[in-house]
């Protein structure tokens, strides 16, 4: 043990090797290659990292991995500490490079989220074009027709994911690229700070030296004239020298308010692609992917139920999966339909089935039974009509919990005892009559309630 402690380079090599097996190559490259082990002090393994941002990032993303890797190397738990490097001498760097067999370059830091990659982006007709264009840009940055690339659309539909995926993919292709990735708010803040500190020249140089400039949510430039001015110049410099610009926005540039028209017209000179809310099948695919990513296996009926109720936003779909996981592990209960229904209910802010109405149910029953809607809610006592009516009543009660009186009123002004009788009849038939059972199952399914 002391022997290894003395030989920290050897130990770090083992740690590095262990991590290399566990983590993707780009993560090792971005976050572990630049680390320099500097010694043991007070029983802490000291690791030098290039800057504070790096330190925070690696602590928040790779802590568990590092702990495990150290444990694996030393056979016991080892404390470690990161130190932010003061200027390292070239000699140190050469030494560590030699040992690790990698070349340490002065690294530029981008805060690309390494989880946002094309490989885990689910494609459907709602985002296919945006994804294809993004991939193309990442593989051929700066190509005229796709410059700038503007990805626009509503909240939680994958714009930021695609933007980071472009950065990650471009870096994978060419690790020397200088990728600047920032939100429009950070850009503004950076600019304001540079004004305060009389450092606008450095500010400009910083951005203008990027090979790919990624700016998220440019709608927040709205009304910030001086920032827009700066951005306009940065844009032009980069564009003229064939550097790629990728922007995201909440709307098509032509419809954005509060941005200078010269900017908007520049934006439209490139390619604008939109992301739309996913349709049902894409929601199912996303849920399956997110469940798998989180090590969760869910019955298809549960996935389908979530997909039927959470519709507009991928972030919400993901949030639902995470919430289900959290709830089941915090309360230490199995994931079952009740738990899922509860979580979905919270998420949609109230009763599930809010978007199901009596009219809806009648319509579905009418389609399946071939009895006219008017007849279902009418007075006729003909057998097939009465049966369709009873099934409708049953489903209203079962899915939406509609009160007996309201059901009675809707279906031809009947009183609640008639409704009770109808519910009882259907319950009995359901147990004995395969046709009725099948009908109810298929209507429930169409309304998104197959599993409850
Ligand atoms: P936006 O920037 O459009 O508001 P994000 O890119 O932040 O949305 O997406 C929200 C979340 O949903 C992210 O965690 C992202 O990974 C995920 N997401 C969005 N679209 C998809 C998709 N098509 N496939 C997989 N995950 C997606
Ligand atoms: Mg975003």
| pLDDT tens for each residue of 302-334 | 898 899 889 888 999 999 999 998 888 888 888
Is the per-residue pLDDT at 350 higher than 70?
A: no
Ligand nearest to the CA of 159: 1
Indicate if the pLDDT at residue 93 is higher than 80: no
What pLDDT sits at residue 106? 45
Mean pLDDT of the region 119-133: 95
For 274-294, write each residue's pLDDT tens digit: 999 999 999 999 999 999 888
Average pLDDT, integer, range 350-356:
62
Task: Please choose from 157, 158, 251 the residue to mutate so as to test ligand 1's pocket, defined by most ligand atoms within 8 A of CB.
Answer: 158
Question: What's the gap in Å between 154 CA and the centre of ligand 2?
Answer: 9
- Substitution site in 127, 156, 321 for ligand 1 pocket (most atoms within 8 Å of beta carbon): 156
| Predicted local distance difference test score (pLDDT) of residue 66 | 93
Residue 194 pLDDT greater than 80, yes or no: yes
* Separation of CA 316 and ligand 1 centre (Å): 9
pLDDT (mean) for 156-164: 97
Q: Provide mean pLDDT across the span 250-267.
A: 93
Q: Which residues line ligand 1 (CB under 6 A)?
A: 116, 120-122, 127, 155-161, 286, 314-315, 318
| SS3 per-residue string spanning the chain | CHHHHHCHHHHHHHHHHHHHHHCCHHHHHHHHCCCEEEEEECCEEEEEECCHHHHHHHHHHHHHHHHHHHHHHHCCCCEEEEEECCCCCHHHHHHHHHHHCCCCCCCCCCCCCCCCCHHHCCCCCCCHHHHHHHHHHHHCCCCHHHCCEEEEECCCCCHHHHHHHHHHHHHHHCCCCCEEEEEHHHHHHHHHHHHHCCCHHHHHHHHHCCCEEEEECHHHHCCCHHHHHHHHHHHHHHHHCCCEEEEEECCCHHHCCCCCHHHHHHHHCCEEEEECCCCHHHHHHHHHHHHHHCCCCCCHHHHHHHHHHCCCCHHHHHHHHHHHHHHHHHCCCCCCHHHHHHHHHHHCCCCCCCCCCHHHHHHHHHHHHCCCHHHHCCCCCCHHHHHHHHHHHHHHHHHHCCCHHHHHHHCCCCCHHHHHHHHHHHHHHHHHCHHHHHHHHHHHHHCCCCCC
Checking if the pLDDT of 261 tops 60, the result is yes
Q: Residue 289: nearest ligand to its CA?
A: 1
Q: What is the pLDDT of residues 26-48, one digit of tens each?
A: 778 778 888 888 888 888 889 98
Task: Tell how far the Cα of 140 is from the centroid of ligand 1, in angstroms.
Answer: 23
Query: Average pLDDT in the 115-132 region?
Result: 95
- pLDDT given at position 34: 83
Q: What is the mean pLDDT of residues 256-284?
A: 94
Say what the pTM is: 0.66
The pLDDT score that the predictor gives to residue 333 is: 85
Residue nearest to atom 5 of ligand 1 (CA): 158
Residue 108 has pLDDT above 70, yes or no: no
Mean pLDDT calculated for residue range 405-415: 91
Residue 270 predicted with pLDDT over 50: yes
Q: Does residue 400 have a pLDDT over 90?
A: no
Q: What is the mean pLDDT of the chain?
A: 88
């Amino acid at each position: 043990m002391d022997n290894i402690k003395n030989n920290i380079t050897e130990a770090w090599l083992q740690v590095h090797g262990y991590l290399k097996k566990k983590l993707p190559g780009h993560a090792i490259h971005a976050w572990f290659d630049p680390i320099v082990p500097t010694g043991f002090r007070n029983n802490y393994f000291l690791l030098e990292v290039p800057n504070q941002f790096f330190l925070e990032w690696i602590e928040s993303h790779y802590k568990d991995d590092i702990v495990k890797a150290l444990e694996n190397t030393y056979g016991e738990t080892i404390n470690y500490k990161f130190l932010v490097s003061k200027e390292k001498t070239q000699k140190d760097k050469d030494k560590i490079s030699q040992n690790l067999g990698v070349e340490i370059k002065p690294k530029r830091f981008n805060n690309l989220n390494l989880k946002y990659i094309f490989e885990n982006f689910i494609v459907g007709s709602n985002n296919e074009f945006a994804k294809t264009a993004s991939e193309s840009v990442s593989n051929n940055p700066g190509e005229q027709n796709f410059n700038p690339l503007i990805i626009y659309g509503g909240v939680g539909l994958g714009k930021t994911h695609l933007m980071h995926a472009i950065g990650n993919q471009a870096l994978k292709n060419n690790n020397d690229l200088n990728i600047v990735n920032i939100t429009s708010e950070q850009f503004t803040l950076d600019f304001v700070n540079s004004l305060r500190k009389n450092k606008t020249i450095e500010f400009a140089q910083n951005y203008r030296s990027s090979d790919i400039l990624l700016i998220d949510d440019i709608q927040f430039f709205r009304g910030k004239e001086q920032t827009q001015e700066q951005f306009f110049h940065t844009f032009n410099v980069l564009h003229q020298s064939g550097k790629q610009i990728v922007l995201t926005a909440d709307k098509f540039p032509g419809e954005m308010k509060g941005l200078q028209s010269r900017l908007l017209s520049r934006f439209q000179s490139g390619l604008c692609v939109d992301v739309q809310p996913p349709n049902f099948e894409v929601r199912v695919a996303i849920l399956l992917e997110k469940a798998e990513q989180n090590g969760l296996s869910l019955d298809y009926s549960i996935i389908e139920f979530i997909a039927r109720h959470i519709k507009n936003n991928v972030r919400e779909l993901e949030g639902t999966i995470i919430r289900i996981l959290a709830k089941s592990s915090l309360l230490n209960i199995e994931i079952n339909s009740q738990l899922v229904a509860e979580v979905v209910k919270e998420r949609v802010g109230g009763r599930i089935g809010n978007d199901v109405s009596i009219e809806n149910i009648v319509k579905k029953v009418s389609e399946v039974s071939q009895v006219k809607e008017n007849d279902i809610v009418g007075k006729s006592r003909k057998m097939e009509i009465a049966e369709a009516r009873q099934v409708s009543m049953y489903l209203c009660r079962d899915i939406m919990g509609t009160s007996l009186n309201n059901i009675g009123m809707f279906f031809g002004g009947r009183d609640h005892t008639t409704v009770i009788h109808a519910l009882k009849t259907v319950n009995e038939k359901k147990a004995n009559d395969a046709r009725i059972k099948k009908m109810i199952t298929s209507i429930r399914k169409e309304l998104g309630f197959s599993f409850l």
